[in-house]
Amino acid sequence: MSTLETAAQPEYLCRIAIDPLSRVEGHGKVTLLVDRDHHVRQARLHIVEFRGFEKFIQGRPYWEVPVVVQRLCGICPVSHNLAASKAVDQLVGAREITPTAEKIRRLMHCGQTLQSHAVHFFHLASPDFLFDFDDPTAHRNVGGVMADFPDIARQGVRLRKYGQEVIRITAGKRVHGSGNVPGGVNKALTLQERNYLLTDLDLMIQWGRNILKLIKQAYALNPGYFTHFATIRSNYLSLVRADGALDLYHGGLRARNGQGDILFDHLDYRRYAQVLREQVKPWSYMKFPFINALGPDKGWYRVGPLARINNCDFIPTPLAEAERREFAALGEGQPVHLTLAYHWARMIELLHAAEAIQELLLDPDIFGDELVVRGKMTHEGVGVIEAPRGTLFHHYRVNEDGLVEKANLIVSTTNNNQAMNESIRQVAERYLDGKELTEPLLNQIEVAVRAYDPCLSCATHALGQMPLIVELVEEESGAVMDSLMRDADGVVRGGH
Amino acid sequence: MSEDRSFTLDGRPIPFQDGQTIMVAALAAGVYIPHLCFNPEFAPHGSCRVCLVKVNGRVQAACTTPAAVDQTVQNETGELREIRRGILQMLFVEGNHVCPACEKSGACQLQAVAYYVGMLAPHYTHFYPRRPVDASHPEAVLDFNRCILCELCVRASRDVDGKNIFAVQGRGIQAHLVVNTPSGKLGATDFSLADKAAQVCPTGAILTKHRGYEIPIGQRLYDRKPISVVGDVATLAESKGGRRHD
């Protein structure tokens, strides 16, 4: 871990804030504490908004939960809806949903992955590839992309629109639909809907391949920059299918360390709490998850496209698999640790999502009429899914009446909290330290955060669990006379 | 000679029979007057005030005002639409009507009437009352957050089911729906989904347990046509997305 998390004597340092972070989902800021010689002494990513879904769904009926919690986000609501739906399936005893229901859900999720990855790369991140760091801020945005690279901008809009159409047809609405019900889905596809979605699909696949060419060209032009910028060694966590394939909808948990060694594999995600813990720090609303066996200092990990492509043994669609092989060569036998490679991995997944949509649309099961199964009610359910931004955990416990008693969400971006902080500290040390800070330099911090495609509004859930320390300090000497501490679990310790 | 008797509604003659209210006569003639607490199977209540019309220049509830030959009634006017919209907006902020997550969304009479009168936002400051859900009954859930005090369940349980399970307690802004048991829990009653009281709620206050969102968006009761064409939730079968009868 970097030493830049907390400065020893912050009172003598100059504070510089990047507030708000631009071109990310939600509101966040980065603060830097810099000394007189422009050396960075502290760098932190803060999440400044607060949601509290875990709290206010308490007391609500469980079957409402997927529809309520999807409001966490306007970009990846399908992921929250599906993770919660998978948990609710367990509550209603649906151990396996019907082939039709599963394929409709997978279709919905692929549409979600396609549109979310498109909006991030084309609308938010593409200026980082297409323009220089010191490009004027008024131009370094999607407007500038539309002016200078209209074809790329148009492809981004159309790719997103296509993904949203897949969602609309499977979930009922482009954003915040209600297609998933306890134990299945409420509709299959009609032939007319299938044919409509097939119409533009070849074009989407072609555009997915084109954008990968663009990324590879950008890498080839400046390999040193890609290799070193914000790069950190980390552990990786994701779901994988039973045969080791990339699977965005379902699978077991796999974690690798920085060398690529397996830490745990095919772990039933309902046992996530045995391997993962969350640390709370007083300066952030966002928790810091870590692999329990390694502890908070060494156990933090990365999730999302980079983790998934590093973790899986293969991608079950041919074009994306060919791209994965080329990508994996960068790691020379180890995981690819390049933070900017998140974009590359993300576009491999976009291509995979488009290919998977094609396979699903040609599968006759999507027209089936067996939509829902139910079994014996249980009181606890855990749903995990690979959301566009990474592994997403939804855990609910309900009472005898079917009302939610407890909820725990580990949101994709939360998993990357420590990693994002490590990346900005690497950038601060390598590119900013000792220099007078200018807007283009500070933009490099944002580029590092943006690579993770964080959804900051999704990721803040520390309600009622923020640690609090009260110290009684002797006025003259400054000595601590007494202290009272409320831990992350709400337990108050100390005091006399 | 009652078949010859009529009053004028927005310039159109509306025939009526002795004892009919303006509301009943209008609906029989195919003219929609927005309403929530009115249900033709029950005695008029006049509590929601959404059906206010102007009778000879005076604002009155169409559901409680007897029709008469000398009446000139105004229904679809900008002024009345604004009054109705204001009433709907107050109903929405007084409870917790979270349409985006509600199982009844798309098949909710309150929501449909709100759309009909042009309400697109609540306008007033939300009260955000704390009203815990009663899920103690094995078949049904009572969500007090969505109750608009129309008393249809009270009337149905008392007058049709003969169970007298529901009541409204308190006055004015303190008025609230209660269950007539010492514990106040629905689970302590002999309430059944087959009861008339389970069929009449114009919102999502009384819902079938363990079920939700089963009708796809686009096929729900009010997804394609307004309530003035479709009719009330309580009078429509489940197959059309209305009240369930299971």
Q: Which of residues 141-170 of B touch A (CB under 8 A)?
A: 141
> Cβ contacts of residue A450 below 8 Å, gap of 6+?
A21, A23, A24, A124, A125, A128
Total structural domains in chain B?
2
Task: Give per-residue pLDDT as tens, B117-146.
Answer: 999 999 999 999 999 999 999 999 999 999
Give yes or no: residues B70 and B111 share one domain: no
Q: Which of B57, B76, B95 is the last residue of a domain?
A: B76
CATH architecture of the region A53-422: Orthogonal Bundle (1.10)
Q: Is A430 helix (H, G, I), strand (E, B) or coil?
A: helix
Residue B81 lies in a domain: no
Residue B190 lies in a domain: yes
Task: Give per-residue pLDDT as tens, B178-223.
Answer: 999 999 999 999 999 999 999 999 999 999 999 999 999 999 999 9
**Closest-CA distance of chain A to residue B112, Å:** 19
User: Is B126 in CB contact (< 8 Å) with chain A?
Assistant: no
Give yes or no: residues B225 and B119 share one domain: yes
The partner residue sitting opposite A71, judged by closest CB among B101, B187, B214, is: B101
Angle at B208 between CA B204 and CA B213, to 5 degrees: 70
Residue A205: what pLDDT? 98
The partner residue sitting opposite B216, judged by closest CB among A67, A71, A179, is: A179
**Closest-CA distance of chain B to residue A186, Å:** 5
End-to-end CA distance of chain B: 44
**Amino acid at site A5:** E
> Using an 8 Å Cβ cutoff, are B173 and B149 in contact?
no
Give yes or no: residues B50 and B120 share one domain: no
Residue B29 lies in a domain: yes
Cα–Cα distance between A108 and A245 in angstroms, integer? 19
Report residues of chain A scoring pLDDT below 70: 457-496
Give yes or no: residues B226 and B113 share one domain: yes
Give yes or no: residues B35 and B119 share one domain: no
Cα–Cα distance between A185 and A107 in angstroms, integer? 12
CB contact under 8 A, A402 and B216: no
User: Is A29 in CB contact (< 8 Å) with chain B?
Assistant: no
Strands (DSSP E) contained in chain B are: 6-9, 12-15, 52-55, 58-61, 72-74, 140-142, 166-169, 176-179, 206-208
- CATH code for the domain of B17: 3.10.20.740
When scoring A78, A176, A178 by the number of chain B Cβ atoms within 10 A, the one with the most, hence best to mutate, is: A178
The partner residue sitting opposite B212, judged by closest CB among A71, A179, A181, is: A181
Query: What ipTM was reported for this prediction?
Result: 0.92
Residue A496: what pLDDT? 47
Within 8 A of B133 by CB-CB distance, chain A residues are 59-61, 403
Residue B11 lies in a domain: yes
Residue B9 lies in a domain: yes
Give yes or no: residues B133 and B60 share one domain: no
Peptide bond into A182 cis (omega under 30): no
**Amino acid at site B85:** R
Pairing of strands A492-494, B12-15: unpaired
Q: In Å, what is the CA distance from B180 to each residue of A81, B149, B154?
A: 37, 15, 10
Residue B208 lies in a domain: yes
- HSE-CB of A387 using CA atoms within 13 angstroms: 34
User: Is B215 in CB contact (< 8 Å) with chain A?
Assistant: yes
Residue B87 lies in a domain: no
Within 8 A of A172 by CB-CB distance, chain B residues are 216-218
User: Is A27 in CB contact (< 8 Å) with chain B?
Assistant: no
**Closest-CA distance of chain B to residue A58, Å:** 10
Residue B83 lies in a domain: no
Give yes or no: residues B123 and B64 share one domain: no
**B3 band by pLDDT with thresholds 50, 70 and 90:** low
Q: In Å, what is the CA distance from A202 to each residue of A159, A193, A205, A215?
A: 11, 16, 5, 20
Residue B4: what pLDDT? 74
Domain ranges of chain A: 53-422, 469-496
Residue B233: what pLDDT? 86
Q: Which of B58, B76, B94 is the last residue of a domain?
A: B76
User: If you average pLDDT over each of A314-318, B3-7, B42-46, which comes out highest?
Assistant: A314-318
* Residue B202 belongs to domain spanning: 103-240
When scoring A55, A57, A62, A64 by the number of chain B Cβ atoms within 10 A, the one with the most, hence best to mutate, is: A64
Give yes or no: residues B111 and B22 share one domain: no
Paired residues of B207 in beta bridges: B141
User: Is B209 in CB contact (< 8 Å) with chain A?
Assistant: yes
The partner residue sitting opposite B132, judged by closest CB among A59, A64, A182, is: A59
